[in-house]
Structure 1
């Protein structure tokens, strides 16, 4: 018995063979011609399926992915946002802020300044940050670039001084053992990695 998985996205004729001694098990999954199937498959071409899944299970999974496409960040699409919740940071100082907070930007080379500007423009395009108005003043600006081993840069902010002027937010943390007990009898465990998760929180 041979299992064959075929994704015919262009409705072409497929010839399997004429050897009648071999038996084939085919699962045919139809998708509407009106939907942009080829575009969908191109967007999810990096999806890796478990080798333990059958062709029918893979088709079912593709159907679920296709139905919930808006839940995934694909390409240059805008990031999602957490609705109805904002992170609030309370300071234990008031304006005028102490000198430790009113720091000028760190000295940077021409190459570093170009990278900082590039990352700022990317954040603007993703609607993560916005430009200041004429009457708005921001006194805490300490951008920092961290270089990875592959030569790429990561854009960060140095908020160590700000942390010293921030009121502590204390709350009980769930014990790991209790969390594991709750999922001990689960049949499936799903892990979702939010793309640029910190940027999806309103501040």
Structure 2
């Protein structure tokens, strides 16, 4: 069900009582909100169709990531909102592949980095070379 229009809603008795919906055709059809029975809201007399869209589940962590990274990230202006959300979802799904302040690249399991600095002789060939070439005399 992608998009649909609705002209009728089916409500249970508890909603009818809570919202004070008057189903009898007295003077006007009205509803009230909670215990405030003095203020009545009238249903509009004309028929209009209400567009109902499919509600997608919201991933709170993804929304938090978008809000935190929105000022740092530069996303192309040529992308549509749908394309931006797909990119954000893809980055969120593979977030383990990226380094962060709390988790540098060496902290990722199976991507450990061991760097050994050798300061003992014999030096590797690139370190034996002088930093600057000798000036011609």
Scaled by the length of structure 2, what TM-score is found?
Answer: 0.37
Scaled by the length of structure 1, what TM-score is found?
Answer: 0.27
Structure (1/2) with the larger strand percentage: 2
Higher relative contact order (CA 8 A, sep 6+): 1
